[in-house]
Amino acid sequence: MEKIVFYEDKDFQGRSYDCKGDSADLQSYIRRCNSLKVEGGWWVLYERNNYTGYQYVVGPGEYNIYHHWMGFNNCVRSCRIIKNAKGPHKLMLFDQPQFGGRSLELTENIKSAPEKGLRLEVQSCKILEGTWVFYEHPNFSGRQYLLEKGEYQHHTEWGALRATVGSIRRIIEQSDPDNAQ
């Protein structure tokens, strides 16, 4: 059962809201979000209403302050459940827009793109199976971008201002130590 609980104050204090599905506008339930508990499923949180702004991907667990989900501030205005977190994972990365240039197929997490000999710029990609998160910096840090099955001809189609990808993680429902947040 998918469920996330938002708290206005850190350490699970203050006004709270139990959410069991996608919500385009959380503002009528909570003014801010300083901590949260994910009791089931994987979720993407958005800084703005209607699933826009910075994205934060969170899985089962407790986050007693927004820094623990790599939040830039206590502003969470919408959220949705991540689908397709089961089964195999495969993607193709391209160093040019519209699937041009050199390509690379991935099926596993990449903690540091530079250490794996990958260029930091990913101009386009195809998510063939599963759900993935691109991180701006190595070690799964920096801005996050959720990519679900489909084709992304340009980095702006997954919401990035720049084509910089420092690390990549699969979203997997079951417990996976290599996928831990």
Encode pLDDT of 32-74 as tens digits: 999 999 999 999 999 999 999 999 999 999 999 999 999 989 9
Looking at domain 90-179, its CATH class is mainly beta
Closest CA to 45 of 62, 23, 16: 23
* Residue ranges covered by each domain of the chain: 3-81, 90-179
pLDDT band at 82 (very low <50, low <70, confident <90, very high): very high
Q: What pLDDT does 16 receive?
A: 98
Q: How many residues does the chain have?
A: 181
Q: What pLDDT does 1 receive?
A: 87
Q: Do domains 3-81 and 90-179 have the same CATH topology?
A: yes
pLDDT over 90 at 156, yes or no: yes
Measure the CA–CA gap between 146 and 170, rounded to whole angstroms. 10
pLDDT band at 11 (very low <50, low <70, confident <90, very high): very high
Under CATH, which architecture does the 3-81 domain have? Sandwich (2.60)
pLDDT band at 15 (very low <50, low <70, confident <90, very high): very high
Encode pLDDT of 63-74 as tens digits: 999 999 999 899
Q: What pLDDT does 85 receive?
A: 74
Q: What pLDDT does 179 receive?
A: 45
Q: What pLDDT does 13 receive?
A: 98
pLDDT over 60 at 9, yes or no: yes
> Which strands sit side by side in the sheet containing 167-170, from one edge to the other?
78-81, 43-48, 52-58, 141-147, 132-137, 167-170
Encode pLDDT of 93-113 as tens digits: 999 999 999 999 999 999 998
Average pLDDT over the chain, rounded to an integer: 91
Q: What pLDDT does 174 receive?
A: 57
DSSP 172: -
